[in-house]
Homo-oligomer: A and B are copies of this chain.
Amino acid sequence: MTNTPNRSVERAFRIVDELSENGGGRASELAARLEMPVSTVHDYLQALVETGYVTAENKEYRTSTRFLEVGHRQRHRLEVVKAVRDELATVADETGEHVTLLIEEHDQAVILAVQEGPDAINLFAYPGARMPLHATAPGKAMLAHMTDGRVAELVDQGLVEVTSRTVTDPDVLLEQLETVRQRGYAVDEGERIAGMVCIAAPVLDKREQIQGAICVCGPESRLGETRREEIADVVQRAANVTQVNLDYV
């Protein structure tokens, strides 16, 4: 399975990752961190600069804006983004909270768009940010509509504990997913960020395939039982509209 998937490619992106995490660096720094010979790292950096995906400014290397370009182009093409159009803004207005659109990719939940309502808490949410599926409302909303086999696989990979409230028991998770299917929306109570409650509805296409999730996040203090239900309604409506757009286009 894990044969030899082209070492050069793997190494090149290891370097990119490292650059991205530390916001840039010098050849020797990277070499030390990645435990590679300096000369090798140097060769790679040179090659990466040549491609235009890395820039060098006086021996300081950093990832270039080409990543933004590629990222945005792809996002633009994803149907969900088109379909969700101004729904996110509506939800942000109506709830006042922090609203995001997410999709599933590589077994993780990834943010594609962010819309902050007037009272939104400032979260570390930006397009491209990723998080485990089982520890978030949108993740659970999406999991609830995947095949049992797929879910089992993910469970097997282990349910990482993000906060003390994170669901790590497979049985509890499966039970919650059933609830999600019944109610039509998912909730997370400080399972990813302590003190934050998130409510998310799944976006499905006409074949009942999961395409993403719309998520509202706010502080626990502000989200009592009744307020949650209100929000759940708004989010579900937005998800439905999106679904219609998706099928129509």
List residues of chain A with CB under 8 Å of any chain B CB. 5-6, 8-10, 12-13, 16, 20-21, 23-24, 43-44, 46-48, 50-53, 55, 62-77, 103, 105-106, 110, 112, 126-130
* Cα A66 to Cα B48 with chains together (Å): 17
Complex interface: chain B residues within 8 A of A43 (CB) = 5-6
Complex interface: chain B residues within 8 A of A66 (CB) = 71, 128
Complex interface: chain B residues within 8 A of A110 (CB) = 65, 69
* Cα A183 to Cα B122 with chains together (Å): 40
- How many identical chains are in the complex? 2
Q: In the assembled complex, how far is the CB of residue A232 from the closest CB belonging to chain B, in whole angstroms? A: 27
Across the interface, do B112 and A53 meet the contact criterion of CB distance under 8 Å?
no
Q: In the assembled complex, how far is the CB of residue A239 from the closest CB belonging to chain B, in whole angstroms? A: 20
Across the interface, do B65 and A71 meet the contact criterion of CB distance under 8 Å?
yes
* Cα A131 to Cα B9 with chains together (Å): 28
Across the interface, do A72 and B106 meet the contact criterion of CB distance under 8 Å?
no
4 A-B pairs closest in CB distance: A69-B128, A68-B71, A68-B128, A8-B8
Across the interface, do A46 and B5 meet the contact criterion of CB distance under 8 Å?
yes
Across the interface, do B69 and A71 meet the contact criterion of CB distance under 8 Å?
yes
* Cα A75 to Cα B71 with chains together (Å): 13
* Cα A21 to Cα B103 with chains together (Å): 21
> In the complex, given contacts A5-B50, A67-B74, what are 15 additional A-B residue pairs having Cβ atoms less than 8 angstroms apart?
A5-B43, A5-B47, A6-B43, A9-B12, A10-B47, A13-B52, A20-B69, A24-B77, A64-B74, A64-B106, A65-B105, A67-B70, A70-B128, A72-B127, A72-B129
